[in-house]
Structure 1
Amino acid sequence: MSTTNMRIWEQVQTTDTRYTKNAEVGGQKITSLNGTAMVMKATEMFGPVGIGWGWKVLEERFDDGHEVFAGEGDKRICLGREIGHTVKIQLWFMQDGQRGEVEQYGCTRYQYKTKYGMTTDGEAPKKSLTDAIKKALSMLGFSADVFLGMFDDQNYVQQLQAEQAIEQAEDRQAEIERQQQERLDFIKNTIDTMQGAKSLQELKKIHDHAVRRLTARRDEPGVKRIAKELATLSPNFTQGDAA
């Protein structure tokens, strides 16, 4: 794919970690994106909402879900139905004098059962709209690193935080020097830990953990230094120690 085709994607794919948080939805752990931060990023890319980009609501509805019951046996009663809110939008944007359009849905629970009984979320329509906008922007590459699952790799997140800390620091040189010292301390502590390993299996585990972190930070010299230590220490153990 040409650079022209990926131009928007490459400019908006990286997420500012300040505007993310860990969340749990349906028992699944996810990275939640701040809707306002995504709107700000789109404004940087296309211009003010309503001029450079925006959206139109195409459809809005409330959908009945399954019935909700309380109690057991003869005392079992129906509390009502769960209800979900759905909105469909058409997100538009201007690029090089051309208008682009993306359609997406946003969904939110409106009426549902909690441990305290049935409840209704009066902000469901607003949440559905925000959900639809975020999903539509994701189709253009906004916060692609989150949607591609890269935030599941803690090493990637730490590297991103380090890069953003330099970019946002008042004294960038001081931050660079702090991170350089942190890198040296990490490598030294890793080597010290490897030298104290009691088995080949433990040695390789320490090595692999450090290499994953250093690779995520694109630190090839650091990877080579840890690999050299592994090669030096491995002969101290028999192959049977790896079992």
Structure 2
Amino acid sequence: MSDKNMQIWEKVEKTETRFTKKAKVNGQDITSLSGTAMVMKATELFGPVGIGWGWKIIDERFDEGHEIYIGEGDKRACIGREIGHTLKIALWFIQDGQRGEIEQYGCTRYQYKTSYGMTTDGEAPKKSLTDAIKKALSMLGFSADVFLGLFDDQTYVDQLKEEEALAMAEDKDAEMLRQKQERVDWLASAVETIGKAVTLHELKLLNVKYVREATRRNEPAFIARITRAFEERKAALEPSKENAA
């Protein structure tokens, strides 16, 4: 694949962690993206909305869903239907003098039942538009790391945060030293805690915990040091063969 084909994607695929937050949607844990942050990123690349890029609404509708009931048996009654709002846009952009266009949908619940009864979301059209813009921009690679599920990997998120802290630091050398010292301090604390284990069961639990964390941090040298600390403490806790005899 040519570099030209990926030139937009590679510029916008990483997401600043400060513009994300964890959310629960339909029982699933997801990473929620700031729509305004994505608009800002697109503006940085293409120019102001309406000049370098923009969108046009080409379809909008309210769709009825399933019926909503209350009560049981003879007292069961229908109080309405769920209603969803759907909006379709054509998002356009200018790249190297050429005009591109992407069609996408945005969907939002408009009328639905909550634990407190029926409710209507008056901001559903606005939310659907934001949803459609975000989905259209994702087709170009904007925040691809979120849509590819990389934000589910805490190691990836931690690495991003370190990169961001380094990029924003006035004294980059000092920030690099700070991050290095933070890793060294974590290892020292892990080794010290392992060395204080009072039972083999506790020791094994600590070893699993710290090896998993070192693996998540992508620190193979730390894994080796933790393993050595584990073996040393294990030897001290296990009864010697002479005493056992």
TM-score class, shorter-chain normalisation, is: 0.7 to 0.9
Cα deviations across residues 111-146 of structure 1 (Å, max 9, x unaligned)? 111122111111100100000000111111111111
CA drift at 1:206: 3.6
CA distance in 1, matches of 2:144, 2:194: 36
Which residue of structure 1 aligns with residue 212 of structure 2?
209
Give per-residue Cα distances to partners, 1:21-63, cap 9 Å, x unaligned: 1111111111110000000001111111111111111111100
One-letter amino acid of the counterpart of residue 122, structure 2: G
Equivalent in the alignment of 1:39: 39
One-letter amino acid of the structure 2 residue matched with residue 224 of structure 1? A
Gaps (5+ residues) in structure 2? 239-245
Measure the CA separation in 1 of the matches of 2:183 and 2:229: 21
Matches within 5 A, 1:147-226: 147-196=147-196, 198=200, 201-202=204-205, 205-215=208-218, 222-226=219-223
TM-score, length basis structure 2: 0.86
- Structure 2 counterpart of 1:139, one-letter code: M
Identify the residue that residue 224 of structure 2 maps to in structure 1: 227
CA-atom RMSD in angstroms: 2.2
Query: How far did 1:229 drift?
Result: 4.5
Give the secondary structure class of the aligned counterpart of 1:113: strand
Partner of 1:218: none
Count of residues in correspondence between the two structures: 233
- 2:88–2:104 contact (8 Å) kept in structure 1: yes
Q: CA contact under 8 A between 2:194 and 2:233: conserved in structure 1?
A: no
Query: For 1:194 and 1:223, how far apart are their aligned partners in 2?
Result: 18
Secondary structure of residue in 2 paired with 1:6: helix
After TM superposition, list the pairs within 5 Å mapping 1:75-86 onto structure 2. Answer: 75-86=75-86
Q: How far, CA to CA, are the matches of 1:106 and 1:227 in structure 2?
A: 49
Taking the aligned partners of 1:112 and 1:190, their CA distance within structure 2 comes to 50
Partner amino acid for 1:84?
Answer: G
Change (3 A) 1:57 1:202: same
- State the Cα distance separating 1:236 from its structure 2 match: 7.5
Identical-residue share of aligned pairs (%): 64
Write the distance in 2 (CA, Å) between the matches of 1:23 and 1:206.
26
2:122 partner SS: coil
Q: Classify 1:195/1:67 alpha carbon distance in 2 versus 1 (closer, same or farther; 3 Å).
A: same
Structure 1: give runs of 5+ residues left out of the alignment. 216-221
**Which structure has the greater CA radius of gyration?**
2
